């Protein structure tokens, strides 16, 4: 299968040297990319972190470096039509500065107000442009009402699978995840390393693809 994966947190620039971002390490996205590659799939990884930070990187894995939500959106739009599965593991910023300064903003002894505008909803775009046979997997990171919010995202964005976890997963090596598809009840996986969980996610995706082909 041709699998497109996004990983890392985007950087939304305020000026040439300052940006808004989040605490995402990209570990889950990279673990998924490695698991998919080892399973024999053709992987395209759209990432906001340097190639040197991807452990056990395989040269056959296509890596597309991006920084901002807009750049990630452009990359997904480019490669999505040719993929069999899109896994949105990146922590894409919800907002970006409306008018980034072209030069470094100097410090002044007064309050600085930055106007933010919404970034493109990449998962929603993909759901609306999905072709028959394509699989879209999304992530939901929540601090409350985990399952309710994740199910809402699953339906509204027309995803085929949602992987939900709490904010404690950020930066952690071992986490607990819960998985939901439109047809199945919630599946809770015991706490494990992101490497182990990534293999299970890829296996579940492969099973869903096989069932779809048989049907």
Q: Which residues participate in catalysis according to the annotation? A: 22
Report whether 198 contacts 28 (CB < 8 A): yes
Nearest one of 109, 106, 140 to 123, comparing CA atoms: 140
Distance, in Å, from the CA atom of 51 to the CA atom of 55, rounded to the nearest integer, reads 9
Distance CA 110, CA 191 (A): 47
Task: List C-alpha distances in Å: 205 to 3, 20, 101, 149, 171.
Answer: 11, 33, 43, 22, 24
Cα(87)–Cα(45) distance, rounded to whole angstroms? 10
Residue with tokens 């182990």: 196
List the one residue out of 22, 8, 167 whose CA is nearest residue 94: 22
Per DSSP, what are the bridge partners of residue 131?
Answer: none
Residue 182 near residue 150, CB atoms below 8 Å? no
Tell me the helix, strand and coil percentages in the chain, rounded to 5.
35, 30, 40
């Amino acid at each position: 299968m041709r699998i497109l994966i996004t990983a890392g947190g985007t950087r939304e620039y305020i000026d040439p040297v300052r940006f808004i971002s989040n605490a995402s390490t990209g570990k889950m996205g990279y673990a998924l990319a490695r698991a998919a590659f080892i399973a024999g799939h053709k992987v395209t990884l759209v990432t906001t972190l340097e190639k040197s930070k991807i452990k056990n990187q395989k040269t056959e894995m296509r890596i597309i470096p991006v920084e901002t939500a807009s750049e990630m959106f452009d990359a997904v739009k480019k490669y999505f039509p040719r993929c069999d599965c899109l896994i949105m593991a990146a922590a894409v910023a919800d907002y970006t500065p409306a008018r980034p300064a072209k030069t470094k903003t100097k410090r002044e002894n007064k309050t600085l107000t930055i106007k933010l505008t919404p970034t493109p909803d990449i998962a929603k775009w993909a759901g609306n442009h999905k072709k028959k046979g394509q699989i879209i997997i999304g992530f939901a990171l929540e601090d409350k009402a985990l399952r309710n919010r994740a199910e809402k995202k699953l339906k509204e964005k027309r995803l085929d699978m949602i992987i939900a976890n709490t904010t404690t997963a950020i930066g952690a090596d071992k986490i607990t995840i819960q998985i939901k598809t439109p047809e199945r009840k919630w599946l809770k996986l015991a706490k494990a390393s992101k490497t182990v969980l990534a293999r299970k996610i890829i296996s579940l995706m492969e099973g869903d693809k096989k069932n779809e082909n048989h049907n």
